[in-house]
Structure 1
């Protein structure tokens, strides 16, 4: 019997420090009013065989949730399948929900899991679909078995209706019909575990992006390619225009949907003037040859730019192109455009005659970071919240919680030191690889970020407020978060800033090193 367990969950702080212990079947509701500004995210774990009545249970849970694009329903799936018609109905319930729906495949606490057969249809009910590392999505043919000759005509009609309903679901989910072909190629007694790359190509696995449209336009003899990406943080458009053998680009980044999460303290004009503009070709970073303008109008930041021949050559063979507006703390607005249809390559070749080369010609390390699945974040944090408050002794008479708190406070103290001392101390705090505000960085990449920030703000002071402090530990690590008063000053620029941040650090239990840094800041 399928078990659907609703749980109010608070996002914004994510721990990802190792494999999780198995959980018992019963999952309790977790709610924490201590951080009200991070509410509005709801987690449902769906575990077990899908049977009659499960869609009604899911519909009842969804009906009680608040409506609106500021709220998210995070659905974790772990099921071998079951009743196909019921799976379709559950997908319909999710698609009809007046709340943003994110699906992923995992067990409780973010452990890898399988989602097969009817479960794969429920998965498609999510507007945004992730696949936890190690998890699998499986498909096969559906079948109605009967030995009754008189019933065979009715069975044929059922099969036809089911095929039509699945095709309709794929269309509404913006999934390539090739996914239905994969189902039909695998016998009912077998499972085709579809690899992640195929799922991405078919737009089954779409992460933050719902869909992308690439269209050629011809106006006054000028050929343009308009790429439009619609996703979790709004609409992003990139236009490449050819005129007299020269390519010019215009980026339009929607900021209204992302404003609350990333830029609540900034106006659109400030975003346009203070965010750094970046271009990546298949992860390889390159500055625009000429960044002409950047401004703000009607909830869009627009940037016009051109690219040199080497960058255009790299884009001719690249599978993706990132256009980003990057804040000094590493958070960014923008979109990853899919170039695999070859249209941008065609435009570059026709317009300028440039021959494509591999993006590695741009040099450096590719930045192929992807944001962490919000379903994983919620499920892991729920597991942390349910951990026993009694922890093993870490060092001497200190518990894991006490040791983690001591490291947290020492970190704030040492990051408040002058640059030379602070940066030396920071290198000793971090794990070789970690999650930094939703992206994966190496320690070296993180230190580059820290150095840039320290040079911009050489005088800093961070002090944790004791009220409302959160400390949660599992055997694999601890999360410490608190409201932190911060002040920063640049004597050279004669500028200052201050505010309060909800700031979290995740520590690996074995090494004591930081494996996560995340938070939300509000300037004064």
Structure 2
């Protein structure tokens, strides 16, 4: 990396020179192209003129198409409106922008007061463990005003700050918290609250939940825009089952090895899934939610999906928070076992076991030409419950080979087979 150090000098009206914010620009060695990223380290107090200086620095890269611009921040604050102006300079960039408070070399950095508005200018915002973000009340920038003029100016600044916070996708609760702490103090906001308010976004730019009515049944679509592109998952009712379609920003995979449904951070293996024809940049994967997981989906705090390569080393995943109880309404409206209940049924309420018949093999009446390989006996039964046409199964134990049946007809004895019929 080569470094460009820019010290911005601001001359006060009192004619004494002081140093304003420092900008240390780091660019990778070699030519810059669409895979290149640059880093700007920003340190010190924010003073009037800093936004213009940053704009001039970034203008040197306007003729290039860069992958991203990253900004690390270490500042106690300073001029509030200049902080907003700096944030708008960052927000106006065409590249993906990332901001971080704290770095490997400075893990206990702070970003307080006006610095927070610089930080909000980036698309993706990170807070390193040990670093802090703090807020407090803003003061009157023009102490010569009084009465109605001062009130009017304060209202204008408040409106500007609220508009900016909303424009950057953060919760206006941040502004309310600013008003609780006197100008002389700093309220160091806990990281979990900053994430809840979308001040700290980590790698997620935007999340959307869409509910719709399809043939009288509720459906849910979750969409997440992150550094990994747009990913999502939908849930709808089909034949008294929850059908789901997950879609991933087209990963550069030769083959998909396994697929998991993510519920509250736990990965659940889905053995029966179908990869649909790739459309545009997306890889769609369809599956029925297994009956024993329907209750967990209904009560989920977060839902998502994950795919891996055959070697199991590489995975692409996403998971999105659920902010209401609509999944419970969706499941209750779809699966008979959930209807007329006031709370989430247990897995036993939903999962109706089939009657097992050890050493029994049903001959003929196969629903598939090749059966289903590589599943457990429990998964074999579960697969049968998903289809009204399936009345029984025969399972070859040594080969983990499931044969769904349309009719439990002719029986024969086999020590390596266990069968089951629907109750």
Same fold (TM over 0.5): yes
1:154 paired with 2:149, answer yes
The correspondence for 1:169, drawn from 164, 167, 171, is 164
For structure 2, the residue ranges without an aligned partner over 5 or more in a row are 1-19, 348-423
The corresponding residue for 1:90 is 86
Cα distance in 2, alignment partners of residues 41 and 147 from structure 1: 43
Deviation of the 1:95 alpha carbon: 0.6
Deviation of the 1:147 alpha carbon: 6.1
The correspondence for 2:316, drawn from 333, 347, 358, is 333
Cα distance in 2, alignment partners of residues 90 and 217 from structure 1: 40
1:296 paired with 2:294, answer no
**Which TM-score applies when normalising by structure 2?**
0.69
RMSD over aligned CA atoms reads: 2.7
Is contact 1:5–1:46 with CA below 8 Å preserved after alignment?
yes
Cα distance in 2, alignment partners of residues 161 and 36 from structure 1: 42
Higher relative contact order (CA 8 A, sep 6+): 1
The correspondence for 1:309, drawn from 291, 306, 320, is 291
Deviations 1:445-484 (A, max 9, x none): xxxxxxxxxxxxxxxxxxxxxxxxxxxxxxxxxxxxxxxx
Seen in structure 2, the aligned counterparts of structure 1 residues 286 and 141 have a Cα distance that, compared at 3 Å, is same
1:277 paired with 2:247, answer no
Deviation of the 1:313 alpha carbon: 2.6
Is contact 2:263–2:300 with CA below 8 Å preserved after alignment?
yes
The corresponding residue for 2:136 is 140
SS in 2 for 1:65: coil
The alignment covers a number of residue pairs equal to: 321
The corresponding residue for 1:355 is 344
Cα distance in 2, alignment partners of residues 312 and 110 from structure 1: 46
The correspondence for 1:48, drawn from 44, 47, 67, is 44
Cα distance in 1, alignment partners of residues 135 and 330 from structure 2: 37
1:322 paired with 2:304, answer yes
Deviation of the 1:183 alpha carbon: 1.6
Deviations 1:306-357 (A, max 9, x none): 2223433333444322312223463333422112333334423443328277
Alignment of 1:54-453 (within 5 A): 54-65=50-61, 71-106=67-102, 109-144=105-140, 148=144, 151-255=146-250, 263=252, 270=254, 273-288=255-270, 290-327=272-309, 328=311, 330-352=313-335, 353=338, 355=344
Deviation of the 1:60 alpha carbon: 1.4
Is contact 1:317–1:357 with CA below 8 Å preserved after alignment?
no
Cα distance in 1, alignment partners of residues 207 and 124 from structure 2: 13
Cα distance in 2, alignment partners of residues 67 and 227 from structure 1: 37
Seen in structure 2, the aligned counterparts of structure 1 residues 232 and 357 have a Cα distance that, compared at 3 Å, is farther
**Which TM-score applies when normalising by structure 1?**
0.57
SS in 2 for 1:297: coil
Seen in structure 2, the aligned counterparts of structure 1 residues 53 and 329 have a Cα distance that, compared at 3 Å, is farther
SS in 1 for 2:213: strand
Greater share of helix? 1
Larger radius of gyration: 2
